[in-house]
Amino acid sequence: MALLEIRKVTRRFGEYVAVRDVSISVESGEFFTLLGPSGCGKTTLLRMIAGFDQPDGGQILLDGQDLAELPAERRPIHTVFQSYALFPHLTVWDNVAFPLKMADIPPAQRKAQVAAMLDAVHLSDRAGHFPHELSGGQQQRVALARALVDQPRLLLLDEPLGALDRQLREEMQLELIKLQRAVGITFIFVTHDQSEALALSHRIAVMKDGDIEQLDEPSKIYGLPRTRFVADFIGNCNLLEATVTACRPDGLQLQVPALGAVEAPSNTAAQPSQHGVLALRPEQVHITPRPPAECTLNCFAGKVLDFLYVGDVTTYKVALDNGQAIQALLPNTAPGRAKFFELGDRVWISWAPEAGHYVPD
Ligand SMILES: Nc1ncnc2c1ncn2[C@@H]1O[C@H](COP(=O)(O)OP(=O)(O)OP(=O)(O)O)[C@@H](O)[C@H]1O
Ligand SMILES: [Mg+2]
């Protein structure tokens, strides 16, 4: 049995449907992420799981028990928000001890649990400090410790790293993975940052306008997007408008208006004469100064229109002779400021027939 079962849950605000008929089961021990753009309903769904809000339709079950009648404070579920909401007048120790005090846990046991939790978030040496004496990342770790100290069945995290700068955020992502593994508590994590979702999660539900577009493990969300929205939202992606001309077991033939015939991997969802897009990641696209040895399939000439150097990689935007723009990514593995191509350089763009992924409309 799944730990958490969300069955056909809907939430309306007046005419507006914020969450529409959503069904999800989350397994015990899972790091599950709700990912989607601002306003897609992530927080609304989380609030219903926590018990701060009620669905207009559907059911939420925890360990097989319907939560409808159980008020928020009696659910074995805690939430960590972007704002840490620590008690400013309590020390780190007392902040973390607070839920145990409320639950009348005897002092000796309380002490052991707080000490173990502070150790898990690497804050044992800050136990006597007040929140304002801590960095943002440290404050967020205290909030995590406080939420985990009484061992909830489920921890909900609503953009908990949103307020942190990029470097700290990446450090905290690694910490979160380790912490979740160590405590073995199920996490439901909310973010609108796709790279964060890919890095952290066992599974991801990509949401759009209150619906789930795709629920899958990260590599499938990235490599085999089921809709145009998912392909576009998750990472940088070339989306080539295409019509299916032939479906063979070994691959698809597509007609791309500007490019002509293009070969793509087979996809059981494809039908002859169907319209869709070929989603092609920039790192799957080769860019070379001369035509590759076999320039027959998926191979086109063009010139460099633009490029973006971001240190480890450079993304080139190429205008093909036939008018199509396409992005190709090159890793900067050579030392120094590697720059392979200049603006206006003549280049060849190619990709393997097994690269890319066709997505029907
Ligand atoms: N109490 C409310 N009354 C009316 N509309 C609401 C209420 N709460 C949320 N909404 C609307 O429901 C939609 C979903 O909101 P929600 O907060 O769940 O989005 P989100 O995915 O968490 O976005 P973000 O990434 O910006 O936090 C939004 O359009 C929002 O305006
Ligand atoms: Mg939100």
Contact criterion met (CB below 8 Å) for 275 and 361: yes
- Superfamily for 4-228? P-loop containing nucleotide triphosphate hydrolases (3.40.50.300)
Alpha carbon of 46 to ligand 2 centroid (Å): 9
Sequence spans of domains, the chain: 4-228, 236-360
Ligand 1: does its nearest atom lie under 6 Å from the Cβ of 185?
no
DSSP code per residue over 5-46: EEEEEEEEETTEEEEEEEEEEE-TT-EEEEE-STTSSHHHHH
Distance CA 196, CA 58 (A): 30
Q: Ligand 1, residue 19: give the atom nearest the CA.
A: 14
- Both tokens of residue 258? 């500007």
Please provide the size of the chain in residues.
361
Ligand 1: does its nearest atom lie under 6 Å from the Cβ of 46?
no
Per-residue pLDDT tens listing for the chain (361 residues):
899 999 999 999 999 999 999 999 999 999 999 999 999 999 999 999 999 999 999 999 999 999 999 999 999 999 998 887 899 999 999 999 999 999 999 999 999 999 999 998 899 999 999 999 999 889 999 999 999 999 999 999 999 988 888 888 898 899 899 999 988 999 999 999 999 999 999 999 999 999 999 999 999 999 999 999 999 999 889 999 999 999 988 899 999 988 899 999 998 888 899 999 999 999 999 999 999 888 788 999 999 999 998 888 899 999 999 889 999 999 887 665 556 899 999 999 999 989 999 999 9
Ligand 1: does its nearest atom lie under 6 Å from the Cβ of 324?
no
Q: Which CATH code for domain 236-360?
A: 2.40.50.100
Contact criterion met (CB below 8 Å) for 280 and 355: yes
Alpha carbon of 28 to ligand 2 centroid (Å): 24
User: C-alpha angle 266/272/277, rounded to 5°?
Assistant: 65
C-alpha distances in angstroms, 142 versus 89, 112, 149, 187, 338? 14, 16, 10, 17, 42
Buried b (16+ CB within 10 A) or exposed e, 26-42: beeebbbbbbbeeebbb
Q: Which helix (H) or strand (E) holds 285?
A: none
Q: Ligand 1, residue 44: give the atom nearest the CA.
A: 18
Mutate to test the pocket of ligand 1, among 43, 190, 191 (most ligand atoms within 8 A of CB): 43
Ligand 1: does its nearest atom lie under 6 Å from the Cβ of 41?
yes
